[in-house]
Structure 1
Amino acid sequence: MLNFQIAGAAGGNLLEHLLVESIGAERGGGIFAWANTNGVKSLFDDDVFDDFLVNGDFRLFVGTDAITDPPTVDKLIDVSTQRPRLDVHAFMSPTTSLFHPKMAWFEHENYLSLIVGSGNLTMGGLRSNWEAFVSLKLSGEDRIRALTQIETFLTSVTEHLLPITDPRVMGKAQHNTGNERNLRTAGTQPTVAESVEAVLVAEIPKAGNRWAQANFDLENYERFFGARVGSHRRISLHHVDATGAVGDVESRPSVEVASQNYRFELAAARGLAYPHGGAPIGVFLRLATGEFLYSLILPGDAGYNEVDKLLTDEWHGPAGRKRRVRVTVDQIHSAWPASPLWDGLVPAL
């Protein structure tokens, strides 16, 4: 099946396909031209892929000609240490020609899942760039032929493959940057207005003792976050703390429960007691890349009163309901000009 990954669109991205095809697989592998830390985290820190690695073997081969930087190498070493069934090698190109393949495969009992396309093991390649890829299920002779071709290729380049722990890999990575946006031509950095597609300001309900599993109404679950009732979608969030520091990527599955609650987990709320004197307020920015930045503010925090007033002014729903409103960038900036989101937005671009 041919798939197009549309920048900024929810669902249908390479990450989702890799996760789905890993379910129930016995073993697999991937070959990517390069990787960055957010891409590695998005795939290997996901519960679905981690479950696969508990019982399944996965061989990963990553190029070092560009992008793959020291933090990425460190992350790959860490993941492979935690999950011994993950075997990671780096490709050290012997010429000035780029190592540029992008593919993955998963061996199931009766078929082979083969995914070949343009996306690398980066956040952009997995979900937010414009990409295209083909997802195939092969059986019989087609399965055998594909696996044979993969092994033939890997055997032919064995002398250029080094364990990810080899010091020469880190030495090569020190010349790279993990930011794919450096590949853009000068002058193409988007403005705030261009990079933020929509803003949601939402009170987070208590929901028992698990308010980190933040509940949202159906309208925003589907039309703001891009989930779909009856299907499994994933979103990528970054928390921005009070200093403007952008947290690690949070790859979250959409969750539906029988009580018609629609949830995404927020790492920033983990371990926090639900506050007295007012509901926590989340401010979410949906970026043109399809990712989300968010800040979580509690009663007494800087900006809470200002954002609470914005909710009061813009909420037109029933009394007693948790207030959730979509506003413009100008509205939230005017209400909360000192928000750390504006500092976090720049590195996130």
Structure 2
Amino acid sequence: MEEMLRDADFQLIVGTDSITNTAAIAKLSGLETVRPRLRVKAFLSPVSSLFHPKLAWFEHRDHLSLIVGSGNLTMGGLLSNWEAMTVLKLTGEDARAALAEIQRFITQHAGSLLPLSDSRVIARVAANDGDERSIRRRSVPMQAVDAPSAVDGANEVLVAEIPASGGRWKQANFDRSNYETFFGAKVGSQRRIVLQSVSGDGELGEIESRPSVEVSSSNFRFELAAAAGIPYPSGGAPIGVFVRLATGQFIYTLLLPGETGYEKASQFLAHRWNGPTREKRRVRTTADDLRGAWPEAALWTTEMPEL
């Protein structure tokens, strides 16, 4: 993008409904300042419906490129959802007609395409700062009604002991059932999941985009950055607590023997696990259920990053 903005102008039109909040407008304004060839307009819809197109067009000397798809600029749309995009190369009359239609929209709605600094834009996006559908806000208790946290009480949770895996336990092994029905992988094919670790004090790790991995021994794995460089403990198996969010991504906490929360998670597994003693214990539950056994976990008040 930086290389393109050195050589060409780029016009961006963003909606002001639901997702676009004050922080997003501030970020775009800052980008305009440092990238003079970037011009951003906010579409202040004259009706209540969403501004929902996902369309990019690029004018070349001999053709027009259109990129059209379903992906929203949200955490789910960018990182975890199943989305589709197509690239069209138009020439001749097709290119001229498509470009004319785009220009017609811009001209027809010129009165609703406003600078980011316009007071009407600022007032409109400020209303989104408190919208449940906007980007998740800072650390908020799960039981709060007027400001929900990233974790809802109904979110599905997996509490799982992590095997040693020959000393490479950051390649965390799971049984096939949880691999497919909790994480959404599929045996025989590969897909990616998006995770972020949560430390004991609530600090989020980096976003991890991990491919599903199958090995011949019928183990099913995802790599966990939070386990990197940590020797496998001798006092008991590490316990991972994974929460599947509404966005499709996962947040997780790794607990080692002796750490705060480990004993409560281990007791929870002991009370709920009814499988063979030779297997690692893995229990599916809900956030509300686990919170009853471990109410002080940082997972319940996790803040999600702004995009």
TM-score class, shorter: 0.5 to 0.7
Correspondence list, 1:11-22, <5 A: none
- Does residue 1:274 correspond to 2:274, yes or no? no
2:298 maps to what in 1? 340
Distance in 1 separating the partners of 2:160 and 2:26: 37
1:229 to 187, 190, 193: 187
Q: Output the amino acid matched with 1:254.
A: P
How much does 1:308 deviate?
Answer: 2.0
Alpha-carbon separation, structure 1, partners of 2:173 and 2:238: 12
1:316 and 2:275 correspond = yes
Larger Rg: 2
Q: When the two structures are superposed, what TM-score results if normalisation uses the length of structure 2? A: 0.62
Give 1:38's aligned residue. Answer: none
Residue 204 (structure 2) pairs with residue 247 (structure 1): yes
Q: d(CA) in 2 for partners of 1:301 and 1:172?
A: 46
CA distance in 2, matches of 1:127, 1:337: 29
Which stretches in structure 1 are left out of the alignment for 5+ residues? 1-52
Offset, 1:200: 0.8
Provide the rounded CA distance (Å) in 1 between the counterparts of 2:38 and 2:276: 53
Q: Give 1:64's aligned residue.
A: 16
- State the alpha-carbon separation in 2 of the partners of residues 60 and 262 from structure 1: 42
1:305-324 deviation digits (Å, cap 9, x = unpaired): 221233344152462x5432
Structure 2 CA distance, aligned partners of 1:342 and 1:287?
12
C-alpha separation in 2, matches of 1:210 and 1:56 = 42
Decide whether the 8 Å contact of 1:227 with 1:254 is kept in 2: no
Residue 279 of structure 1: how far off its partner (Å): 3.1
Deviation at 1:222, TM superposition (A): 0.9
Structure 2 alignment gaps of length 5 or more: 135-144
Aligned residues: 280
Query: Which of the residues 246, 250, 253 maps onto 1:295?
Result: 253
| Partners of 1:265 and 1:168 in 2: CA distance | 47
> What is residue 100 of structure 1 aligned with on the other side?
51
Candidates 95, 102, 106, aligned match of 1:150? 102
Distance (whole Å) between structure 1 residues aligned to residue 276 and residue 31 of structure 2? 46
SS of equivalent to 1:175: helix
Alignment of 1:113-132 (within 5 A): 113-115=67-69, 120-123=72-75
Asked if structure 2 preserves the Cα contact closer than 8 Å seen for 1:199 and 1:283, the reply is yes
Q: Matches of 1:148 and 1:231 in 2, distance apart?
A: 43
Q: Residues 300 and 55 (structure 1 numbering): CA distance in 2 closer, same or farther, change over 3 Å?
A: farther
SS in 2 for 1:201: strand
CA-CA distance at 1:252 after TM superposition: 2.6
2:68 maps to amino acid: L
**Partners of 2:161 and 2:280 within 8 A in 1:** yes
Map 1:19-58; keep pairs closer than 5 Å.
none
Residue identity opposite 1:283 in structure 2: V
Whether the aligned pair in 1 keeps the contact of 2:44 and 2:121 (CA below 8 Å) is: no
RMSD: 5.2
Residue identity in the other structure for 1:69 = N
Q: 2:174 aligns with which of 213, 216, 219?
A: 216
**Contact persistence 2:244–2:250 (CA under 8 A):** yes
Change in 2 beyond 3 A, CA 1:90/1:112: closer
Could you report, residue by residue, the CA deviation over 1:113-169 in whole angstroms, capped at 9, with x for unpaired residues? Answer: 4226xx74234666899x9x986564556963445533554576679464x7x7979
1:209, 1:261 → 2: CA distance? Answer: 15
Structure 1 307/61 Cα, relative in aligned 2: closer, same or farther at 3 Å?
same
Of 198-207 and 210-219, more deviation after overlay is shown by 210-219
Tell me if the contact between 1:198 and 1:286 (Cα under 8 Å) persists in the aligned partners. yes
